[in-house]
Chains A and B, each alone.
Chain A
Amino acid sequence: MREENKEIRIRSIDEINEKIKRGDAVVLTAEEVIKLAESSGVEAVAKEVDVVTTGTFGAMCSSGVFLNFGHSDPPIKMVRCWLNDVPVYKGLAAVDGYLGATSISETRGLEYGGGHVIEDLVSGKEVVLRAESYGTDCYPRRHIETVITIDDLNQAILVNPRNCYQRYEAATNSSDRILYTYMGTLLPNYGNVTFSGAGQLNPLCKDPSYETIGFGTKIFLGGGVGYIIGEGTQHNPEPGYGTLMVKGDLKQMNSRYLRGASFYRYGPTLYIGIGIPIPIINMSVAKTVALRDEDIFVNIRDYAVPSRPDLRPIIKRVSYAELRSGKVYLGDRKVPSSSLSSYKMAREIAETLKKWILEGMFFLTKPIEPLPKRGKFKPLEIRRKEPKVGDIMNRHVIIAKPNDDVNSVAAKLVEKGIDHLPVVDDEGKLIGIVTSWDLAKAIAYNKRRLDEIMTRRVITAFENESIDVVVRRMAQHNISGVPVVDAMNRVIGILTTDDISRKIVGGRNVT
């Protein structure tokens, strides 16, 4: 027997719609239903409540809009296209395009992008349309530059491949420098924790086994009406990380619920408001709609480790209640925590959807297909050989001892034509580094021993690290070389920007 059949039906969606039509449906927001369950129990929820409204308002990078510009005269087959200098994807028919939320302005950089253009369109602002083509017999025009508003577009259809994460992992930073990420500003040394998602108001958290939410479910999307058109990309329901693919008519939406945003040094995105009505059709839904922040858990991950999201170390497992309290205990330290998504807006969305239903403006739909209960969320394996630090580094590393004489070391650097000299103790462990510039200064100021002038906080690399990660580290610290050390901090090589540019040519091949 399938699990769904075991549930005793309380009311059907048709019955609820009849009540909405008559004006006597009982609709509560997710927060209100939690209070009811706490005071009167889940049975009261099942008996008294027809619909629970949910809401979320957060950054959703996998969003964008299909646009149809209409044909100019003479017509153009747009091959490349920009709106306010933000590239629009043009691998579609002549005047169709897709503007993605994270597309970056070619003139204003990371501060302005697709998300901002979408907000500008929705608020009725004029937007500069520019396009280029090679010209064909049927589409002779090769350039176009004009100004449009959303009213000039034939269609503007928001189609978002992944929205409305059921929950999302929180973030912190163990490193000694500030990190600017899509999880916001992360202060050094576990200075703060950021998180996203509305927790107890979050739509998929309230129906985690997808008994009522599915293909064709009508929803609140960006202030207008939208539909769920399937599971989202990276839909991973088993551990509780389901996602949705949604669509809706941008022309009906409201810029209060679609906000262009930009995370500093990460880039543009779009904040979207989504609300989903959950009909109380059976006891199991009556139970899950009453889940509270205290019952919904996520991991806090360390964004200082430059690995893919699921490999970043888990620092702690916490509930949304703890995250939202503003303080999270990491060990015995109290660390400030705050959200990136807006709980206030999530509340407002749940309230608005409730009002729509109570006023008979919004009816529920029966999904034509449930969301898949299983997902695929595999990492991308790299099958081509990619150089690691160990492939490029110089293993014949010249080293020095802390009590070496400055003049003889300087002579050695000149003779070997090198710039970086790791300083090691008697066991070969790294204790400092000296560059040719340090030596020039040392000689000028008459210093004698290396340990008087060496830099003791050395930036290093490991043999199995990716070149890109180490190149970024060198750029951040404004240095041109790093000693490569083993797990015991013994120097086994040296990697310089010269080695990298000499050995990686053209593509990514090691010569």
Chain B
Amino acid sequence: MRVKLIYSHDVVEKPILASIVLKTGVPINILEAKVNAQKGELIVSIPATGDKLREVLNLFREAGVQVQEFTETLRIDWDKCMACGACISPCPTGALKFKDDWSIEFDDEKCVACKVCVTACPVRAISLP
């Protein structure tokens, strides 16, 4: 799951993410980071579900980090999509691929929200809020 972590001034310099990774063993992946001395914002993907996911999110909250869950993921407008494939090979995680009938399949779980496919699509059928 993808979440936005907002670090306030008080906690921005603490190694919270690293210690949570060590404690839970969940290899959290940083997708985007904006950090300065006052504030930090990280977009991360947490490859966990159920209790494990809840544990990770709670640890962040206990450490004083504000957690915002992304409910929206990548959206493909299937009426616009012409199944060209221009989005497939640029995707770094293999989240987009051809089905047997040469239409497109998107695997939400693999997507790390890098947005490369958004500009790669020649008919702008892909958006990411």
B98, CB-defined interface residue at 8 Å: yes
Interface residues of B (CB under 8 A from A): 82-92, 94, 97-98, 101-103, 116, 119-120, 122-124
Chain A 347-389 interface 0/1 with B at a Cβ cutoff of 8 Å (1 = within): 1000000000000000000000000000000000000000000
CB atoms of B84 and A340 under 8 A apart: yes
CB atoms of B86 and A344 under 8 A apart: no
7 A–B contacts from the bound complex (CB under 8 Å): A186-B90, A192-B90, A271-B82, A336-B88, A337-B89, A342-B85, A345-B83
CB atoms of A259 and B123 under 8 A apart: yes
Contacts of B91 in A (CB 8 A): 336
User: Smallest Cβ distance from B95 to chain A, in angstroms?
Assistant: 12
Contacts of B90 in A (CB 8 A): 184-187, 191-192, 338
A341, CB-defined interface residue at 8 Å: yes
CB atoms of B82 and A185 under 8 A apart: no
A102, CB-defined interface residue at 8 Å: no
**A58: nearest chain-B partner, CB-CB:** B84
Q: Given A59-B122, A336-B89, A338-B89, answer yes or no on A259-B97 (Cβ-Cβ < 8 Å).
A: no
Contact of A259 among B82, B86, B103, B119 (CB under 8 A): B82
Q: Given A261-B122, A261-B123, answer yes or no on A340-B85 (Cβ-Cβ < 8 Å).
A: yes
**B94: nearest chain-A partner, CB-CB:** A336
A69, CB-defined interface residue at 8 Å: no
Q: Given A344-B102, A344-B103, answer yes or no on A185-B85 (Cβ-Cβ < 8 Å).
A: no
Contact of A184 among B98, B102, B120 (CB under 8 A): B120
User: Smallest Cβ distance from A256 to chain B, in angstroms?
Assistant: 9
Contacts of A178 in B (CB 8 A): 116
Chain A 460-496 interface 0/1 with B at a Cβ cutoff of 8 Å (1 = within): 0000000000000000000000000000000000000
In Å, the complex CA distance between A194 and B86 comes to 8
Contacts of B87 in A (CB 8 A): 338
**B116: nearest chain-A partner, CB-CB:** A185
User: Smallest Cβ distance from B102 to chain A, in angstroms?
Assistant: 4
User: Smallest Cβ distance from B16 to chain A, in angstroms?
Assistant: 30
**A269: nearest chain-B partner, CB-CB:** B122
Chain A 181-196 interface 0/1 with B at a Cβ cutoff of 8 Å (1 = within): 0001111000111100
**A257: nearest chain-B partner, CB-CB:** B82
In Å, the complex CA distance between A178 and B92 comes to 12
User: Smallest Cβ distance from B23 to chain A, in angstroms?
Assistant: 34
In Å, the complex CA distance between A192 and B120 comes to 12
**B101: nearest chain-A partner, CB-CB:** A344
Chain A 155-193 interface 0/1 with B at a Cβ cutoff of 8 Å (1 = within): 000000000000000000000001010001111000111
In Å, the complex CA distance between A184 and B119 comes to 9
A263, CB-defined interface residue at 8 Å: yes
**A340: nearest chain-B partner, CB-CB:** B86
Contacts of B124 in A (CB 8 A): 111, 262
Q: In terms of DSSP, what is the predominant structure of the interface of chain B?
A: loop
Chain A 311-323 interface 0/1 with B at a Cβ cutoff of 8 Å (1 = within): 0000000000000
Contact of A185 among B94, B97, B119 (CB under 8 A): B119
In Å, the complex CA distance between A58 and B98 comes to 17
CB atoms of A340 and B94 under 8 A apart: no
Contacts of A269 in B (CB 8 A): 122
In Å, the complex CA distance between A180 and B86 comes to 12
**A193: nearest chain-B partner, CB-CB:** B89
A339, CB-defined interface residue at 8 Å: yes
Q: Which of A36-91 contact B (CB under 8 A)?
A: 57-59
User: Smallest Cβ distance from B32 to chain A, in angstroms?
Assistant: 16
In Å, the complex CA distance between A342 and B85 comes to 7
Contact of B82 among A180, A338, A345 (CB under 8 A): A345
Contacts of A192 in B (CB 8 A): 89-90
**A119: nearest chain-B partner, CB-CB:** B123
User: Smallest Cβ distance from A438 to chain B, in angstroms?
Assistant: 23
In Å, the complex CA distance between A186 and B119 comes to 12
**B118: nearest chain-A partner, CB-CB:** A264
CB atoms of B89 and A180 under 8 A apart: no
CB atoms of A194 and B82 under 8 A apart: no
Q: Given A185-B116, A185-B120, A347-B102, answer yes or no on A342-B89 (Cβ-Cβ < 8 Å).
A: no
In Å, the complex CA distance between A336 and B87 comes to 11
In Å, the complex CA distance between A192 and B98 comes to 16
Report the 10 A-B pairs with minimum CB-CB distance, sorted nearest first.
A338-B88, A192-B89, A338-B89, A261-B122, A344-B102, A185-B120, A264-B119, A344-B83, A338-B85, A339-B85
User: Smallest Cβ distance from A442 to chain B, in angstroms?
Assistant: 23
A326, CB-defined interface residue at 8 Å: yes
A343, CB-defined interface residue at 8 Å: yes
CB atoms of B122 and A340 under 8 A apart: yes
| 16 further contact pairs, Cβ within 8 A, besides A191-B90, A340-B85, A340-B86 | A178-B116, A184-B122, A185-B116, A187-B89, A191-B92, A192-B89, A194-B86, A194-B89, A261-B123, A326-B88, A339-B84, A342-B82, A343-B85, A343-B102, A344-B102, A345-B83
Q: Given A341-B84, A344-B83, answer yes or no on A263-B122 (Cβ-Cβ < 8 Å).
A: yes
Contacts of A263 in B (CB 8 A): 122
In Å, the complex CA distance between A271 and B86 comes to 13
CB atoms of B86 and A185 under 8 A apart: yes
In Å, the complex CA distance between A271 and B121 comes to 13
CB atoms of B98 and A326 under 8 A apart: yes
Q: Which of B87, B91, B119 has the most CB of A within 10 A?
A: B119
User: Smallest Cβ distance from B124 to chain A, in angstroms?
Assistant: 8
User: Smallest Cβ distance from A179 to chain B, in angstroms?
Assistant: 11
User: Smallest Cβ distance from B29 to chain A, in angstroms?
Assistant: 18
Chain A 250-291 interface 0/1 with B at a Cβ cutoff of 8 Å (1 = within): 000000000111111000010100000000000000000000
User: Smallest Cβ distance from A261 to chain B, in angstroms?
Assistant: 4
Contacts of B83 in A (CB 8 A): 342-345
In Å, the complex CA distance between A342 and B125 comes to 14
In Å, the complex CA distance between A192 and B116 comes to 13
